[in-house]
């Protein structure tokens, strides 16, 4: 008899299984205090919640789990979305040897040792699946050691990471593997896990504790606190159930849940009115240059489990809508913060979001950009377009010169100040003015620049 990855007795040991016990997060699951998240870990692909886009019939991951493929894969996604679970399920199929290494603790020596074992097992006809957790922590040297084994298919590498592999994994190793992106779990996915935990024999339904129930308010708070993380939702639920049992209760309400997770389930609903109220207050506080209020609403959204990508997107929009050319660097800061959210994830990315919020709130404000583009769009939609002046038309095709296209075009760099006096707008719109800079921040200097440009172009100063 032999135990499988989840500590369950499965019958006769398969070839190579004596060396197949995992040594990382999948090991040690055979004691009396196994966490709920481990007890409920799916045993088959069909039990996995979420990631439907990766598990369709005939998909690479499904073929790998069924033993019909030997490619190496990188599983990239936020914490608690099933990377380790997928690796475990894949390793359980196809009668393969499974080895787990943590990039935090394993060095080059440990990697080489496992590859030597994999070579010996392959000579006996047993394939090895090597699971490397947090592979972004592997040094270039460690990754170089893996490269020949992956290229020659000595092993099937399954590497999990919360960081973009394009930045943290060497290109040769990544190019020889399949990159699979895991999506954050939805509230519906998490509710499935909650229901499974409350009713499954492997979950909280035990003879000693009976059947626990969860109030609607507690369920909503639990989903909010979990923020798309399956491990977190099950950990919180397990602690809440233990707290309820300690007072001889089988009903888990918000009070019990808050006490269990030691944090307040503030009044915030990611799908309801409070969601829109908080994001509205967030934007208006930044627009109003109140940095303290801006940080307060940012903290409320973070603590409530709001998707940080949503926050970052709103900051990017705000950087042009409410600040624009008054402080153009804020847009760069907001884009950088959004990139950081994708690269490092939460909770560390809270720092990048906070920096962007402070930059936006303290910057001079101008809505001239949105006013300008909306005014231009209004003219176009109203049919005020006119013909492109002939000297600005494309002159690179046969017959263009005969039509007079581009023949009188004045090349700007041939003129003083790099400005050529000629008409650029269609005749019907020659007096149109869309962009009117304010006197705020860097935009005040743009007003002076536009005055000079208008003079060189032979225009009046309609923007001022």
Both tokens assigned to 91: 């390793």
In tens, the pLDDT along 225-235 reads: 787 888 888 88
Sign of CA dihedral 304, 310, 311, 312: positive
- H helix or E strand, kind and range, residue 383: none
Q: How far apart are the C-alpha atoms of 150 and 115, rounded to whole Å?
A: 10
> In the 3-class helix/strand/coil scheme, how is 153-197 assigned residue by residue?
CCCEEEEEECCCHHHHCCHHHHHCCEEEECCCCCHHHHHHHHHHH
Split at pLDDT 50, 70, 90, the class of 358 is very high
Phi, psi of 37 (to 5 degrees): -60, -30
Pick among 1.10.10.10, 3.30.450.20, 1.10.8.60, 1.10.1740.10: CATH of 187-261: 1.10.8.60
- In the chain, which residues fall in CATH 1.10.3710.10? 368-457
Instruction: Give, to the nearest 10 degrees, the angle between helix 329-344 and helix 350-362.
Output: 170
Domain ranges in the chain with CATH number 3.40.50.300:
2-181
Render 53-102 in DSSP notation, one character per residue.
GG-STT-HHHHHHTTS----EEEE--TTSSHHHHHHHHHHTTT-EEEEEE
* Arithmetic mean of pLDDT over the chain: 79
Listed in sequence order, the DSSP H helices in 229-307 are 230-246, 254-261, 273-287, 291-303
Alpha-carbon distance of 122 to 132, in angstroms, equals 19
Q: What percent of the chain has pLDDT over 70?
A: 81
Q: Render pLDDT for 256-265 as a digit per residue (tens, 0 to 9).
A: 888 877 654 5
| Confidence at residue 170, expressed as pLDDT on a 0 to 100 scale | 86
User: Which pLDDT score is estimated for 5?
Assistant: 33
Helical axes 329-344 vs 308-318, angle rounded to 10°: 170
17: pLDDT confidence band, cut at 50, 70 and 90? Answer: very low
So what's the pLDDT on residue 371? 92
CATH 3.10.450.50 fits 273-362, yes or no: no
| DSSP category for residue 288 | T
CATH 1.20.272.10 residue ranges for the chain: 273-362
Query: 368-457: which CATH topology?
Result: post-AAA+ oligomerization domain-like (1.10.3710)
More confident residue, 207 or 51: 51
Integer Cα distance of 386 and 408 in angstroms: 19
CATH 3.40.190.290 corresponds to the domain 2-181: no
More confident residue, 146 or 409: 146
pLDDT of residue 333: 97
């Amino acid at each position: 008899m032999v135990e499988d990855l989840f500590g369950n007795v499965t019958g006769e040991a398969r070839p190579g299984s004596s060396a197949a016990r995992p040594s990382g997060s999948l090991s040690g699951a055979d004691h009396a205090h196994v966490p709920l998240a481990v007890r409920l870990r799916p045993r088959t692909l069909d039990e996995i919640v979420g990631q439907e886009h990766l598990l369709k019939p005939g998909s690479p991951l499904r073929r790998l789990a069924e033993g019909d493929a030997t490619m190496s894969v990188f599983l990239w996604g936020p914490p608690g979305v099933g990377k380790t679970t997928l690796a475990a399920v894949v390793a359980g199929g196809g009668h393969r040897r499974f080895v787990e290494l943590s990039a935090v603790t394993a060095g080059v020596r440990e990697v080489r040792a496992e590859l030597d074992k994999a070579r010996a097992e392959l000579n006996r006809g047993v394939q090895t699946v090597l699971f490397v957790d947090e592979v972004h922590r592997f040094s270039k040297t460690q990754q170089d050691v893996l490269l020949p084994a992956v290229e020659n298919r000595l092993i099937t590498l399954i590497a999990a990471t919360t960081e973009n592999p394009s930045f943290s994994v060497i290109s040769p190793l990544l190019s020889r593997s399949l990159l699979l992106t895991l999506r954050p779990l939805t509230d519906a996915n998490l509710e499935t896990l909650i229901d499974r935990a409350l009713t499954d024999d492997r979950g909280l339904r035990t003879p000693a504790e009976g059947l626990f129930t969860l109030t609607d308010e507690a369920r909503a708070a639990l989903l909010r606190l979990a923020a798309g993380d399956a491990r977190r939702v099950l950990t919180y639920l397990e602690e809440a159930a233990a707290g309820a049992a300690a007072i001889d209760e089988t009903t888990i309400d918000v009070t019990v849940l808050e006490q269990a997770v030691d944090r307040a389930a503030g009044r915030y609903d990611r799908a309801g009115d409070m969601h829109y109220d908080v994001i509205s207050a967030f934007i208006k506080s930044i627009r109003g240059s109140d940095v303290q209020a801006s940080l307060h609403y940012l903290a409320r959204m973070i603590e409530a489990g709001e998707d940080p990508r949503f926050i970052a997107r709103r900051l990017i929009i705000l950087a042009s809508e409410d600040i624009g050319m008054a402080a153009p660097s804020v847009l760069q800061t907001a884009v950088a913060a959004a990139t950081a959210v994708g690269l490092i994830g939460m909770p560390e990315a809270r720092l990048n979001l906070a920096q962007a919020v402070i930059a936006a709130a303290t910057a001079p404000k101008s809505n001239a950009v949105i006013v300008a583009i909306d005014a231009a769009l209004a003219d176009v939609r109203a049919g005020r377009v006119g013909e492109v002046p002939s000297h600005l038309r494309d002159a690179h095709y046969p017959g263009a010169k005969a039509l007079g296209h581009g023949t009188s075009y004045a090349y700007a760099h041939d003129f003083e100040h790099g400005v050529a006096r000629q008409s650029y707008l269609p005749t019907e719109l020659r007096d149109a003015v869309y962009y009117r800079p304010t006197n705020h921040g860097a935009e005040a200097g743009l007003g002076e620049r536009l005055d000079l440009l208008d003079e060189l172009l032979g225009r009046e100063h309609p923007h001022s």
